[in-house]
Structure 1
């Protein structure tokens, strides 16, 4: 049996019985000055591994916010690195249309306890001081990180599905408004792991999972991952959405990035303003094990992760595991395990609510396969239409807990 302490195919947002609900901004808070408003996560990515360092380069990461605010904070990560990460400059700006150009007058230099440089020890993250910069919901930001020397393996998120930009000779370029010094296009996010905003958001939902959440199968540079589509549906209700998906990640087992059990706190529960967590994970564990693994291990894992979420005052909604018939790693034994795990997700009472993603996307003619109109061609992931269906399914599961209507 796979040894686990806890896991989670979930989506959270309310409180366990007997726990006081988190405070919702009332009249007294509404009139408080901007500096006293709470921080809420607006964008996130989780480190998926390391790659070669970029000494002397500046990386202009393009990130897409869910909710806006009057100020931002930038999170940087050296979580998977083996040497101190020396950051020579960090800037943030609103993006001007497509490309690496900033909106004139919006470039801000971030500081860390008042200093313009920072050293992040290996295995750790850091967060900048507040940066006064009004940002609207659904804005693209340019988060530029300049590393003057070789800081060893760089923590990055490999599958960004977003074009960012690199200035090979980055000294003095982090604050450039024009992007002419950034000729190289890259498809990963380097060092940056999150953006918090200060404003009137009611909290955030964390989407926690593997490539299905990371966005594989959706159109690059369009923000059509299902967490992005969920953000569109929750924006009017002032809830942000954070994407903590990692392509290749597993719930119970180590794989691409730390397992879901290992990374739950740092990638989800520790984020600012979290009111809900969506964990849509487990299919890679089934694929990695010849017989799909012990069903009891998944149940044990889900129970543990739900308990950890409940300890933070967060309710959990489980997502069923979606079909993968026709995918190269599909087996009949694995399909049996998937169906049994889904039965437990639906009926065992582990979760506060269930979003039945399996029922939403399976082919009526073959329950082991995704509907052809949702399949990008690999029989595992979702195209843009499939991503929108997942987002709608999750939103319905959240509606009662968030008080937003069906």
Structure 2
């Protein structure tokens, strides 16, 4: 393995040396950095006439935001009748008074997004602190076909069934229904003095399955907390059910790498934890050479953009119904490549961190939510610590 330590220091000095010093530019000159992400995982039924008040949690703060909205997986033009953004007031759908802003698209309050496309709003002059909850409200006046969404939000968002004019409501009383998905919104960029962003790229282990909903305890959230003093955004590009080699839930890792990771603003590090769904898939991918080739491709494409890559070992899942001895052998060989194949700039050995010392093919009971595959809140914290060490030591 190529010996590259202190990745954050390398990023600051080799890739973006000017950002190692305190920012002194005027706010208007400060760059955009990714502050939050939800990768599109599929489509669901549209909500014509409704306003969806998506609740999202920022990893970094700044002086302004811009919103990323997607019709990437849709088949019809998506008409956006209104989009607003505000700071959230405590729990629920109400906005902090005076913070709600209408987002525009080249100066217009409405736009149409072609099928297969994304769009980005104009800058919104909304100061936001790191760790803030935002309300991103999207009003769709008519049936625009299948709605691009992120299925496993682990976050309660809100619906106003009669949404005309409701996107601009501060009090939130019209938002009487709830949803466990994020509709259309796939990112929030923040203008400020951040040094760049880190993309956590993976499947349900990264998406947060097993953690407590509405608490932001996924391992990328925990990593963002640990990096807050370093002023790095953390973007969660996990999709539950996603695979490295084949399309499954969402496009494969190789197919979605640019849109969900490399094309995001000012990405400095890519953290890859993906492959277990290929081992357990139908058909199962049992040739470790295919994983090695995919990882090499991911790393080469990231390096071509000046982005460092941390490989995370695949964690144990003995006791899960999909586990077999043959699949365990594949996992071990894939992990041997991640640790010693010389491809990644650094390795975060999550396998070693969360396995049961008495039964290494299984998760430690302290980190197992009960399904023997995902991580509970404590396990998420351990994975965040493991990635943090790979980044900073």
TM-score when scaled to structure 2? Answer: 0.96
Where 2:381 maps in the other structure, the secondary structure is: helix
Matches of 1:329 and 1:273, distance apart in 2: 38
Displacement, 1:23? 3.8
Q: Answer yes or no: is 1:351 the counterpart of 2:344.
A: yes
Q: Answer yes or no: is 1:361 the counterpart of 2:354.
A: yes
Q: Answer yes or no: is 1:136 the counterpart of 2:129.
A: yes
Matches of 1:279 and 1:14, distance apart in 2: 20
Aligned counterpart for 2:265 among listed residues 269, 272, 277: 272
Displacement, 1:14? 7.4
Alignment of 1:94-113 (within 5 A): 94-113=87-106
- State the partner residue of 1:217: 210
Displacement, 1:33? 1.3
Matches of 2:343 and 2:23, distance apart in 1: 36
Matches of 2:45 and 2:283, distance apart in 1: 33
Aligned counterpart for 1:244 among listed residues 221, 237, 258: 237
Matches of 2:143 and 2:33, distance apart in 1: 33
Q: Structure 1 residues 291 and 60 mapped into 2: Cα distance closer, same or farther (>3 Å)?
A: closer
Q: Structure 1 residues 270 and 291 mapped into 2: Cα distance closer, same or farther (>3 Å)?
A: closer
Higher relative contact order (CA 8 A, sep 6+): 1
**CA contact 1:15–1:313 (8 Å) conserved in 2:** no
Matches of 2:225 and 2:140, distance apart in 1: 34
- State the partner residue of 1:168: 161
Q: Answer yes or no: is 1:25 the counterpart of 2:38.
A: no
- State the partner residue of 1:83: 76
Deviations, residues 96-130 of structure 1 (Å, cap 9, x unaligned): 00000000000000000000001110001000000
Matches of 1:182 and 1:242, distance apart in 2: 27
Deviations, residues 202-252 of structure 1 (Å, cap 9, x unaligned): 111000000000000000000000000000000111011000000000011
Alignment of 1:5-24 (within 5 A): 21-24=15-18
Query: How well do the aligned residues superpose, as a CA RMSD in angstroms?
Result: 1.6
**CA contact 1:374–1:385 (8 Å) conserved in 2:** yes
Matches of 2:284 and 2:73, distance apart in 1: 31
- State the partner residue of 1:229: 222
Aligned counterpart for 2:192 among listed residues 196, 199, 203: 199
Matches of 1:327 and 1:13, distance apart in 2: 36
- State the partner residue of 1:3: none
- State the partner residue of 2:313: 320
Structure 1 gaps of 5+ residues are 1-11, 401-406
Deviations, residues 60-81 of structure 1 (Å, cap 9, x unaligned): 0000000000000000000000
**CA contact 1:79–1:155 (8 Å) conserved in 2:** yes
Where 2:227 maps in the other structure, the secondary structure is: helix
Where 1:97 maps in the other structure, the secondary structure is: coil
Deviations, residues 263-287 of structure 1 (Å, cap 9, x unaligned): 0000000001111111100000000
Matches of 1:54 and 1:15, distance apart in 2: 46
Where 1:265 maps in the other structure, the secondary structure is: helix
